[in-house]
Amino acid sequence: MPVGNITRGTTNPNRLRRVDRWICAWPGLRTAENPLVVDLGYGASAVTTVELRERLLRVRPDVEMLGFEIDPARVTSARADLTRWGMADAHPPIRFELGGFEIPVPRGRSPIVIRAFNVLRQYDESQVVPAWNAMLAMVAPGGVLVEGTCDEIGRVSTWIALTPARGGSQSVGGNVGGPQSLTISLRLDGLENPSIAAERLPKALIHHNVPGDPVHALMNDLDRGWAVHAGLGSFGATQRWVATVESLKTAGWPVLAGRTRWKLGEITIAWGALGRV
């Protein structure tokens, strides 16, 4: 039996473009032998899995895509989608199978990337770490599990990057492996407050946006920086965002990545600053 529960299958074309852009830049993808990428919980349509594959093919023309769903009816309909779109025999292959958090990849294979988007949102928070552990156990060395959430049309997106331990145990709560960072990615044009991200935080964080918690402090500091740098808006929202991210860095937040990523409307914070496992 696949591990997990069937939940709502809501999806939309192009809603995962922000996280896909980030995945395409993951360094392990470029160096992986026979890259296998898993999309867990693709929902009522195959569309976001097909889109991820198209984006990945620009980086790795040999990428093999495997979508898992816990709902057998959605496996059947995703396979029908492939046939309808003339992709049933695509090379490199794209396939859809029944599966859950155990990630039943073929024996001897391990994914360099697992994307699990808008999946844990509908679970209880207590189920997050066991689900992470199950998925991380399957990630290849040098690979990443990307677990996150977004709004219906992908203007607000957040995700946690988790990596397997180098030395064996993948368990979250151990001193190696597990969550590494939180990324927030926003459409900057028309953005009123970056704390709009609070509504779309991953399950591990969404209930912690309360005064006194680092997640709440992060949302406040983003809003404050965005307000302080409002004047830069006349040079474009990107400059205003870059200044906002720089102000968080100056304030002591462990901001990862650099301006190239910030210019995309992203900010990535080292997980240790968020006060969780």
Ligand X SMILES: C[S@@+](CC[C@H](N)C(=O)[O-])C[C@H]1O[C@@H](n2cnc3c(N)ncnc32)[C@H](O)[C@@H]1O
Binding site for ligand X (CB under 6 A): 2-11, 15-16, 40-43, 48, 68-71, 74, 100-101, 117-119
**Which is nearer to ligand X, 38 or 269 (by Cβ)?**
38
CB 218, min distance to ligand X, A: 23
Residue with structure tokens 């060395």? 141
CB 158, min distance to ligand X, A: 12
Burial group, residue 101, by CB count within 10 angstroms (0-12, 13-18, 19+) = buried
Listing DSSP states for 102-127 in one string gives T--PPTT---SEEEEESSGGGS-GGG
CB 41, min distance to ligand X, A: 3
**Which is nearer to ligand X, 119 or 255 (by Cβ)?**
119
Query: For residues 110 and 91, what is the distance between their CA atoms, to the nearest angstrom?
Result: 19
CB 228, min distance to ligand X, A: 33
Q: Which two tokens stand for residue 218?
A: 């992060």
Query: For residues 57 and 23, what is the distance between their CA atoms, to the nearest angstrom?
Result: 12
Q: Which residue is nearest to ligand X (CB)?
A: 4
CB 124, min distance to ligand X, A: 12
**Which is nearer to ligand X, 137 or 248 (by Cβ)?**
137
CB 131, min distance to ligand X, A: 7
**Which is nearer to ligand X, 41 or 178 (by Cβ)?**
41
What is each CA distance from 118 to 9, 39, 146, 158, in whole angstroms?
9, 11, 11, 10
**Which is nearer to ligand X, 51 or 223 (by Cβ)?**
51
Whether the bond into 61 is cis, omega within 30 of 0? no
Query: For residues 43 and 205, what is the distance between their CA atoms, to the nearest angstrom?
Result: 23
**Which is nearer to ligand X, 20 or 221 (by Cβ)?**
20
Rounded to 5 degrees, what angle do the CA atoms 101, 105, 107 make? 130
